[in-house]
Amino acid sequence: MDLRDRPQDSAFRAEVRQFLEEHLVGEFAELGGRGGSGDETFGFDVRLRWEKVLAAGGWTGLAWPTEYGGRGASMTEQVIFHEEYVRAAAPGRVSVMGEGLLGPTLIHYGTEAQKARFLPPILAGTELWCQGYSEPDAGSDLANVKTRAVRDGDEWVITGQKVWTSLAHQSDWCFVVCRTDPESRRHKGLSYLLVPMHQPGVEVRPIMQLTKTSEFNEVFFDGARTHRDNVGAEGEGWRVALATLAFERGVALLGHQLGFVREFQRIEALAQANGRSRDPVIRQRLAQAHAELTIMRSNTLRSLSGIDGPVAPPEASIAKLYWGSWHRRLGELAIDVIGPAALVLEGDDPAAYELDEFQRPFLFSRAETIYGGSNQIQRNIIGERVLGLPPEPKGGT
């Protein structure tokens, strides 16, 4: 893959830049690029309005096919968009799950009626989604899902508990993996349901995180209802669930990673300003982080450039393991660049303290080696599917 802009890429880059220059003003510019991971409550209402500005300009659903209202952007164009987005310090997106995970899944596995109903509001930023996969006993071992759904006429009635459900408190809908065949075990007998969050049978309980925000939640379903119209065949939701995971581990990560460039630059600037860059060990760690960042970009583009559809090549696990671990080390480097002051929180009132732009990613990046498949699980995939080592012995049947 040639990473230099071709003439048509330069034209696309200019178009993105012009849009951002014209629209990223006022309250949107004031957000200063905030609202990313671990900072998801910051300026939420403004970011929701920004979503609509992006939609009106045709900058949502970048990778979606044009027939579904997307832009049909090539991989190169997606990279350019994200690069410019980060460079302009545009706010963290609020429709990540809908646009990056459910939308592409529906495009591949949804019926035309489901696409017509659900894709337009995702693009418009008027319906937000969350992902109801993990349960107290089903995380890495997702096939152990116990939340069940039974049919009642034209509806599914859902009972059970999900956990670690990101942004559930801000979502209108949840895509939920449920056991619809009570006699089934493991990955058989599961279905992929689309469940409205605003109803009496759904309770969302926030979980306080290290960052003092509640990015994720427990979600309790107690007789929650949704239309019988599941995605994919009844009892065959596993295949659909895996497709969503492929999107999560694949292209959806791209924008996230490109944001690291800006973060690295801020740490580098701080080290120069406070003189820590004169410390040879810090200097070496900065240089190493920069070199690894460059490698990460090339590797990610290489592993994603051949993807067309809901398939994460095994190499995507290398990319996930690499960026999650790299970002954690970057957080540690930031804290070491600041020095002892990194332990001090702003403000006199402990109940109202704010983490700063370095403390926040330092703490939140711990989660990045867990979600989207933990480091250990990625290593298993790499061992089995990249290196061809014997498979891990599986429990159960």
Cβ distance to ligand FAD smaller for residue 180 or 369? 369
Residue 173 binds ligand FAD, judged by CB under 6 A: no
What is the rounded (10 degree) CA torsion for 390, 185, 106, 386?
0
Is 377 one of the binding residues for ligand FAD (CB under 6 A)?
yes
Subset of 258-287 contacting ligand FAD (CB under 6 A): none
Encoded one letter per residue, x for contact with ligand FAD by CB under 6 A and - for no contact, window 207-226 reads --------xx----------
Alpha helices in the chain (DSSP H): 7-23, 26-30, 44-56, 75-87, 96, 103-109, 112-124, 237-249, 253-273, 280-305, 315-338, 359-368, 375-381
Q: Which is nearer to ligand FAD, 84 or 215 (CB)?
A: 215
User: Which pair of tokens denotes residue 107?
Assistant: 């495009």
397 burial (CB, 10 Å; 0-12 / 13-18 / 19+) is exposed
The yes or no reply on residue 380 touching ligand FAD (CB under 6 A) is: yes
Determine the size of the site formed for ligand FAD (CB under 6 A): 21
Distance separating alpha carbons of residues 114 and 61, to the nearest angstrom:
17
Q: Does 325 bind ligand FAD (CB under 6 A)?
A: no
Q: Contact between 371 and ligand FAD (CB under 6 A)?
A: yes
Q: In terms of CB distance, is 73 or 224 closer to ligand FAD?
A: 224
Strand partners, 161: 220
> Does residue 175 belong to the site contacting ligand FAD (CB under 6 A)?
no
CB of 137 to ligand FAD, least distance (A): 8
Segment near ligand FAD (CB under 6 A); pick from 56-64, 98-106, 138-146, 219-227: 138-146
Is residue 238 a contact residue for ligand FAD (CB under 6 A)?
Answer: no
Partners of residue 204 on adjacent β-strands:
219
DSSP string, 268-308: HHHHHHSSGGGSHHHHHHHHHHHHHHHHHHHHHHHHHHT--
Interface with ligand FAD (CB under 6 A), residue from 166, 214, 226, 244 = 166
Closer Cβ to ligand FAD, 96 or 254, answer by number:
96
Q: Is 42 in the site for ligand FAD (CB under 6 A)?
A: no
| Interaction of residue 191 with ligand FAD, rule CB under 6 A | no
Query: Which window, 128-136, 228-236, 263-271, 343-351, contacts ligand FAD (CB under 6 A)?
Result: 128-136
- Taking the least distance from each CB to ligand FAD, the nearer of 134 and 226 is 134
**Residue 222 and residue 159 in contact, taking contact as beta carbons nearer than 8 Å:** yes
* Residue 374 contacts ligand FAD per CB under 6 A: yes
Who contacts 245 (Cβ-Cβ below 8 Å, separation ≥6)? 312, 372, 373
Question: Does residue 370 interact with ligand FAD by CB under 6 A?
Answer: yes
Active site residues: 248
Minimal distance, residue 143 CB to ligand FAD, in Å: 12
Q: Is the separation of the CB atoms in 20 and 90 below 8 Å?
A: yes
Residues written for the chain = 397
- Identify the residue among 60, 134, 180, 300 touching ligand FAD (CB under 6 A): 134
Q: Which residue of the chain is nearest ligand FAD when measured via CB?
A: 139
Phi-psi region of 232 (alpha: psi -120 to 50; beta: other; left: phi over 0): left
- Contact yes or no for 166/128 (Cβ under 8 A): no
The yes or no reply on residue 131 touching ligand FAD (CB under 6 A) is: yes
Long-range contact pairs involving 365-368 (C-beta distance under 8 Å, separation at least 24): 365/324, 365/327, 365/328, 365/330, 365/331, 366/210, 366/328, 367/37, 367/38, 367/209, 368/37, 368/323, 368/324, 368/327, 368/328
As separate numbers, helices (DSSP H) first and strands (DSSP E) second, the chain gives 13, 7
| Segment near ligand FAD (CB under 6 A); pick from 13-21, 64-72, 132-140, 282-290 | 132-140
Q: Does 367 bind ligand FAD (CB under 6 A)?
A: yes
> Nearest distance from residue 80's CB to ligand FAD, in Å?
28
Residues 43-82 that bind ligand FAD (CB under 6 A): none
Q: How far is the CB of 255 from ligand FAD (least distance, A)?
A: 17
The Cα–Cα gap between 92 and 81 comes to 14
Q: Is 305 in the site for ligand FAD (CB under 6 A)?
A: no
Among 81, 164, 238, 326, binds ligand FAD (CB under 6 A): 164
Return residues touching ligand FAD (CB under 6 A). Answer: 130-134, 139-141, 164-166, 215-216, 367, 370-371, 374, 376-377, 380, 392
